[in-house]
Chain A
């Protein structure tokens, strides 16, 4: 079945540095991928929709310059958290449409801790 691989699973970075998270569709092509953010004991909040070959669509309140999204191929989308601060610490999850009747497959998530 459709598999989405997300890497890294955990990352700790210093305040002010940038962190890149990768999301790959392993056995299918994904023209659209989604990036979510999840705080402890809360639901998933959509940050942006990543479209292959075009600019991402960001949700209201999400800073485009801080959360850079690149979807340069049909199997890879990346989220870069720039100039990270402790308040950016969170669980980031990507998902991709499998193209089969509204199928959405999720990655295993990335736990980002900014110190």
Chain B
């Protein structure tokens, strides 16, 4: 089953607002990934984090790898309508080989 707790489950915001979502786990991950999925499509990688404490940006997106290696957050600044979708965190453990564990997802709705 899922081992990553992602919150919030859904968000309804106005265009231009900033968004923050996070994932936590009771166990340590050595890689954190953030994906966006649009209806009927596969997930697309947004940001990859490889080191504890790492802060990485991709345009209006910023994500951080928590110091404890048990959490990560994703921020979206100045949201626009095309940011709509489901955002998933995913983690990879050193002990799980190459398998990824996914969070439950955050459904983002942006009102123009």
Binding site for B on A (CB under 8 A): 4, 6, 9, 32, 34, 41-46, 49, 91, 93, 95, 97, 101-109, 111
Contact = CB atoms under 8 A, between A and B. Distances in A.
A107 to B, nearest CB: 5
Interface string B79-95: 00000000010101000
A34 B99 contact: yes
A38 to B, nearest CB: 9
B2 interface: yes
Contacts of A105: 45
Interface residues of B, number: 24
A105 B45 CA distance: 7
B34 to A, nearest CB: 12
6 contacts: A9-B40, A34-B100, A49-B99, A102-B31, A108-B40, A109-B42
Contacts of B50: 101-102
A44 B100 CA distance: 10
Contacts of A9: 40
Contacts, number: 55
B66 interface: no
Contacts of A107: 42
Contacts of A45: 102
Contacts of B42: 4, 6, 93, 95, 106-109
A104 B105 CA distance: 18
Contact of B48 (A44, A46, A103, A106): A103
The 3 closest A-B pairs by CB, nearest first: A106-B42, A43-B102, A109-B42
Nearest to B32: A102
B99 A46 contact: yes
Contacts of B8: none
Nearest to B107: A41
B100 A104 contact: yes
